[in-house]
Structures are given as C-alpha cells and as structure tokens.
Chain A
C-alpha cells in the first residue's frame, strides 16, 4: 500500500509531467486560455492515459523484448489517443488531438522505472491527474492575470512559461 501511495505521489508531484518533466508544452500554452478548455483537455488526456495504462498492463502479459518496448509504447499511445479522439469526436489533427508528448512521455517514464502490471494503471491515473491539475491551475492564473498590468512583450506564452517555471520550482522542493 505504501509503495502504491508513493507511486501515486510520484505521478502527481515529484514526476509531474508538465512542471517537472517539461512534457505537454503544447497543451500548457494553447489549451489554458479558458478554464473550460483546460478542463476538457485535461480530462480527455486523463482518459487517454488511463487507457494507455490498461494497454501497458496487457503488454506486460505479452513479454515483449526490451528493445521493442519503445515501439510497443508508441502503438499503445497512438491507439489510446485515436480511441478517445473518436469517442469525444475531436478533430483528427495534431493540434486538436490527444497524441502529445505527455502521453508518450508518461509511457516512456513508466518503462524506464519498470512500472508494469496493475501499478501502471495507478501511475497513469496519477500522472493524468497531475496533468489536469496543472492545466487548471495555469488556466485559473491566466484568468486572474487578464486585468493585471503586464508589459506587452510578456503577454501570452512568456508569462505562462514563467508562471509554470515558478510553480515547478516550488514542486522541486518535494523531490529532495
């Protein structure tokens, strides 16, 4: 149980996909313009990650050689993204879709730390929740900053990156 909780904490905080791994930058800058948009992007990614976690669980039963695991993860991530894009009727483009670096990066992190079996699902859900929470927090901060007197060059992406960087530095404290 303690190990499982530690795994969940890793996905949520100490290996947070956006803030501490630098993955999913596209969603961070584009999908946080409104809180509802961030919620939609985060929840659909959570669903895709859960599906990908289930896929990894099935994969561990197949005993795939280590040299092929990257391609196996690529297939699992593409299938999970495609499935949810179809179910949620999202556009079939890269910019509107779910196939982003956070999904594939999560699977690769899983593979690197040898998380397989049922633990893969727990890690996938906690990583997805961490992704969702960060998107919501950044969207809320952007909403709050709309009326702030920000210099023109800093408006938009630069301010989002600096905000996310400062949040990430705060989370770095949990890694020690």
Chain B
C-alpha cells in the first residue's frame, strides 16, 4: 500500500487515493475471507451454512491455499474486466 501511495502529489490527492485504496483493499479482504471461510469450515461469518463432516477444501485455511484462491480470484477479475497480461509497474 505504501508503495503506491508515495506517488501522489498533493495532500487531497493522497487522501483520496488512500481512502479509495483502503476501501478497495477491505472489500478484497472480505471477499477472500468469505470464500476461504466457506471452503475451509463451511460457515459464513461464523454461521453454519454447510452441514458436513469433511470440509470442502481444508487447505483453504492455510497460507498456500489462500495464495491459490487469491490467484484464481485475480484471474477471474482479469477475465471480467478484460485486463490481464503481464503486470505493469
């Protein structure tokens, strides 16, 4: 986050940039968290959704599982928005 914020020029620009990035980051975290929680425990914000003995994908609770899910989400985002290809700096 700090990496991208150091480019802003004025205070108001920096503040707007920070708010936008913060809200976007929070939304991304919540989406990722909801997916990981459902896959790993079968719950949604703690409420049981899926009654089963075995979780769908228990590894989703671990860091590597989170990375895979984040990668798939990014690919989905790229496919929907038509972006993609190599990362631009």
Spell out A's residues near B (CB within 8 Å): 19-22, 26, 29-30, 93-95, 151-162, 164-169, 171-172
The reply to whether A153 and B64 contact each other, CB–CB distance below 8 Å, is no
The reply to whether A153 and B3 contact each other, CB–CB distance below 8 Å, is no
- Docked pose: A26 CA to B84 CA in angstroms: 18
Is there a chain A Cβ closer than 8 Å to B75's Cβ?
Answer: yes
- A154-B71, A166-B68 known; 13 new pairs, CB 8 Å cut-off, are A22-B63, A30-B87, A94-B3, A152-B84, A153-B76, A153-B84, A154-B75, A154-B84, A155-B86, A158-B71, A158-B75, A165-B67, A168-B64
The reply to whether A20 and B67 contact each other, CB–CB distance below 8 Å, is no
In the complex, which residues of chain A have a beta carbon less than 8 angstroms from the beta carbon of B85? 152, 155-156
Spell out B's residues near A (CB within 8 Å): 2-3, 6, 59, 62-72, 74-76, 78-79, 84-87, 89
- Docked pose: A172 CA to B72 CA in angstroms: 20
Centre residue among A153, A159, A168 by max chain B CB count within 10 A? A153
- Docked pose: A155 CA to B78 CA in angstroms: 9
The reply to whether A169 and B71 contact each other, CB–CB distance below 8 Å, is no
Given contacts A169-B65, A172-B64, contact A162 B59 (CB under 8 A): no
In the complex, which residues of chain A have a beta carbon less than 8 angstroms from the beta carbon of B65? 165, 169
Please name the residue on chain B nearest to A152 by beta carbon: B84
- Docked pose: A20 CA to B71 CA in angstroms: 16
Pick the contact of B87 from A29, A151, A154 — CB < 8 Å? A29
In the complex, which residues of chain A have a beta carbon less than 8 angstroms from the beta carbon of B3? 26, 94-95
Given contacts A94-B2, A155-B85, contact A20 B64 (CB under 8 A): yes
- Docked pose: A6 CA to B3 CA in angstroms: 35
- Docked pose: A151 CA to B67 CA in angstroms: 19
In the complex, which residues of chain B have a beta carbon less than 8 angstroms from the beta carbon of A165? 64-69, 71
- Docked pose: A159 CA to B78 CA in angstroms: 12
Centre residue among B67, B69, B72, B74 by max chain A CB count within 10 A? B67
The reply to whether B67 and A22 contact each other, CB–CB distance below 8 Å, is yes
The reply to whether A162 and B72 contact each other, CB–CB distance below 8 Å, is yes
The reply to whether B75 and A93 contact each other, CB–CB distance below 8 Å, is no
